[in-house]
Structure 1
Amino acid sequence: MPIWDPDDAEQLTWRFKVVGDVVEFYDTPGAQPDAPQAWVEAVVATARDLRCLRYGRDVDPDRLMWELSIGRTYAVTIGWHGTAGISGFGLCQGLSMNISFAEAAVWVADTAQTELAGYDFVQWPSRGRHLLRPRQVDDAAVWIDAHNDRVVSLIGDLCCHVSS
């Protein structure tokens, strides 16, 4: 389910995989500017965190084909193509392409968490019976243990804090 609309000449779309921490761009239609760095970094951080504290269906973040699209209102649509039994999605909440990394990371992490739980029965990230929640605290994007309102990790560094 690609989110790129070939009939919308004003839409910019970037398709990419995140393998480890490396972004591999694919099939970017036409000559386009670089993707907004804060949004790409938010996807990389979320993909890195998808490697740990996940229960349910297997999700290999290296196989997900992400899409980032900006339309004529400069709002960002984010999504991925389904793979290995994981459903695809594309979602826009009207957030600007110019927001900070922290704002983008919280939204990308929350969107991925909701999509995985809603359609693929994946609890992520979970420490036992409680899902961690992405939040912005000051200028940082963090995972919060909603049970006790404690910061567990920065978004993107979750796997470093698995045992804590």
Structure 2
Amino acid sequence: MGREVTLDRLVWEFEINSDYYVGIGWGSVDGIGGFNRGEGMSMDASYADAAAWVAETVQTDLAGYEFVQWPSKGRHLLSAQASETGAQWVDPHDRTIVADIGSLCGQG
């Protein structure tokens, strides 16, 4: 069991600047280091490609924090993928679709 972390104080940032740099991340707060990633995403990307990129980018950074319960099947983290039908979480071992990205939690 890790330390208690108050996630509601995190301020997510999503940016598209004048050079068409697309970035996502947050600033450092309460001992949780900040991050920002922006490589590999085009402003003209489809919804499915953008949703899968955001999910993969955030997963890559957050998976190392012990307080994060990221989408998993058993002990294995799920992978993000884009397809013609949308963006999904898939089992990386057999490539079966587990759920649509965004559907694993209730919307507030």
Alignment of 1:1-164 (within 5 A): 62-118=8-64, 120-121=65-66, 122=68, 124-159=70-105
Q: What's the CA shift for 1:116?
A: 0.9
| Percent sequence identity over aligned pairs | 50
Which residue identity does 1:137 align to in structure 2? S
Q: How far does the alpha carbon of each residue in 1:45-89 deviate from its partner, in whole angstroms, 9 at most, with x for none?
A: xxxxxxxxxx96666654321112223321201111234443211
SS in 1 for 2:78: strand
Structure 1 residue 115, shift from structure 2 partner: 0.5
Unmatched runs of 5 consecutive residues or more in structure 1: 1-54
* Residue-pair matches, total: 105
**Structure with the largest fraction of strand:** 1
Matches of 1:66 and 1:112, distance apart in 2: 11
Higher normalized helix content (fraction of residues): 1
TM-score, length basis structure 2: 0.77
- Please, which runs of 5 or more residues in structure 2 have no aligned partner? none
Structure 1 pair 125–78 and aligned structure 2 pair: CA distance change class (3 A): same
Tell me the TM-score normalized by structure 1: 0.54
Query: What do you get for the CA RMSD once the two structures are aligned?
Result: 2.6
| CA–CA separation in structure 2 for the residues paired with 1:124 and 1:134 | 12
Q: Distance in 1 between matches of 2:10 and 2:17?
A: 22
CA shift in 2, pair 1:75/1:139, >3 Å:
farther
Once structures 1 and 2 are overlaid, which stretch shifts more, 55-64 or 80-89? 55-64
Which structure's relative contact order is higher, taking Cα pairs within 8 Å and 6+ residues apart? 1
